[in-house]
């Protein structure tokens, strides 16, 4: 007979994301109100699990956080407890300290752990599940690149922010007859650029899945001029690259599980265009972390709440080792074993790309 669940814990790992607090709130309220579980939250993701640094989560402590971006539990994207930096004999070395985390959970009487994160965070969740920990995963990323779910929470808020930015760039571009280049996040997936570009009436969308030819971009700009539109809006994903170039890396973070930080493609593209187009000002804007912050969209508040409720229901049903996901309009689940490393990229021949092309948007190819 399965052990009765009395106490659960949750943590948020990886980059911050709109909707994290909504998930924390939904898990806590469902656990307490529906099942009478005690709830705690580990601070700074897996680091809190290693240091046994946690806070009680109560109905009072999750009041008023539904709409807020960020996470009241804080987050870290550098703490992989299966390859963790510790000091030994005066030297910093990498060790598997996951057993410490397991012991900490046992000591606190934690019967199940809800892990809210993206691919890296959920990889560790899978590894803890393999060690016998009762784990439920919740998919989080603004990039929307997890294949096991149709949508990740945070994505909708990010594209709303990016779309509003494109709306604002339109008016200044038109006033000065400028070419405006707007860089958005997404890493190696072009979902934010694609959907915000369509919604924000971009003229050119550049995504990692379709390497661009700068001459094709110039063609589109000249075509618009011939139509009496002497300004253009270009939205470019941070992972986009030219046909004969590489992605632009802003920096390398050595102590991170994912050390490569993309960024700078908008500035590079603006410079490259300036070498060819001499009769227009070209300006670049990098949205960066603006896409991650601020209040959470209505859609993401609801999706996060659905995920949080489902996570607790899965705990009650003993469905451990799985991640909550959305399939069509139904909440479902997928084994963490199948989730990891299974990324979802834009299909260059897919419907959304065809829709964009049908209304005259160029992909620079």
Closest CA to 124 of 69, 188, 45: 45
pLDDT of 264 reads 81
Does residue 256 belong to any structural domain of this protein?
yes
Co-location of 354 and 211 in the same domain: yes
Look up the domain containing 264 and give its range: 158-292+347-358
E strands, the chain, are: 7-12, 38-42, 54-56, 84-88, 91-95, 112-117, 135-139, 179-184, 204-206, 232-237, 249-252, 260-262, 282-286, 322-327, 330-335
Tens-place pLDDT, residues 272-294 = 888 888 788 899 999 988 988 89
Co-location of 189 and 117 in the same domain: no
Question: Distance between CA atoms of 162 and 244, rounded to whole angstroms?
Answer: 28
Co-location of 165 and 242 in the same domain: yes
Does residue 114 belong to any structural domain of this protein?
yes
Co-location of 148 and 248 in the same domain: no
| Phi/psi at 245 (5° precision) | -130, -175
How many degrees, rounded to 5, is the angle at CA 321 between CA 316 and CA 326?
80
The answer to whether 318 and 3 have CB atoms below 8 angstroms apart is no
The answer to whether 95 and 61 have CB atoms below 8 angstroms apart is no
Co-location of 280 and 300 in the same domain: no
Per cent of the chain over pLDDT 90 is 72
Number of domains forming the structure of the chain: 2
pLDDT of 291 reads 87
pLDDT of 341 reads 81
Co-location of 31 and 131 in the same domain: yes
Catalytic positions are: 143
Co-location of 14 and 131 in the same domain: yes
Question: Distance between CA atoms of 245 and 349, rounded to whole angstroms?
Answer: 22
Tens-place pLDDT, residues 348-358 = 999 999 999 99
Question: Distance between CA atoms of 14 and 187, rounded to whole angstroms?
Answer: 14
Radius of gyration of the chain from Cα atoms? Answer: 22
Walk along the chain (365 residues) in steps of 10 and give the mean pLDDT of each run: 83 92 98 97 96 97 95 89 88 92 96 94 95 96 90 94 95 88 92 96 96 92 91 93 78 60 81 84 90 92 97 96 95 93 91 96 94
Close Cβ partners of 71 (under 8 Å, ≥ 6 residues apart): 12, 16, 20, 21, 24
Co-location of 24 and 86 in the same domain: yes
pLDDT of 1 reads 39
Q: What is the CATH number of the domain that holds 148?
A: 3.40.50.450
């Amino acid at each position: 007979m399965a052990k009765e669940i009395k106490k659960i814990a949750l943590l948020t790992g990886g980059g911050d994301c709109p909707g994290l607090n909504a998930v924390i709130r939904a898990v806590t309220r469902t656990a307490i109100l529906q099942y009478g579980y005690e709830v705690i939250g580990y601070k700074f993701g897996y680091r809190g699990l290693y240091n046994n640094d946690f806070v009680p989560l109560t109905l009072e402590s999750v009041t008023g956080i539904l709409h807020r971006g960020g996470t009241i539990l804080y987050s870290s994207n550098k703490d992989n407890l299966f390859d963790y930096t510790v000091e030994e004999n005066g030297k910093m070395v990498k060790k598997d300290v996951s057993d410490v985390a397991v012991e900490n959970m046992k000591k606190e009487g934690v019967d199940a752990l809800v892990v809210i994160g993206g691919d890296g965070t959920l990889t560790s969740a899978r590894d803890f599940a393999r060690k016998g920990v009762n784990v439920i995963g919740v998919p989080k990323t603004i990039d929307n690149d997890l294949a096991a779910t149709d949508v990740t929470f945070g994505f909708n808020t990010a594209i709303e922010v990016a779309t509003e930015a494109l709306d604002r760039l339109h008016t200044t571009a038109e006033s000065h007859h400028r070419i405006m280049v707007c860089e958005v996040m997404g890493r190696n997936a072009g979902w934010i650029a694609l959907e915000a570009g369509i919604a924000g009436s971009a003229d050119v969308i550049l995504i990692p899945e379709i390497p661009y030819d700068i001459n094709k971009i110039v063609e589109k700009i000249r075509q618009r001029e011939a139509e009496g539109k002497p300004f253009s809006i270009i939205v470019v994903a941070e992972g986009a690259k030219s046909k004969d170039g590489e992605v632009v890396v802003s920096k390398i973070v050595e102590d991170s599980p994912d050390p490569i930080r993309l960024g700078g493609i908008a500035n590079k593209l603006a410079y490259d265009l300036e070498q060819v187009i001499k009769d227009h000002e070209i300006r670049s804007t990098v949205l960066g972390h603006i896409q991650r912050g601020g209040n959470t969209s209505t859609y993401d508040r609801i999706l996060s709440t659905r995920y949080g409720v489902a996570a607790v229901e899965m705990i009650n049903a003993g469905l451990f080792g799985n991640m909550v996901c959305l399939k069509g309009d139904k909440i479902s689940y997928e084994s963490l074993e199948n989730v990891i490393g299974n990324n979802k990229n834009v299909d260059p021949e897919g419907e959304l790309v065809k829709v964009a092309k049908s209304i005259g948007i160029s992909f620079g190819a």
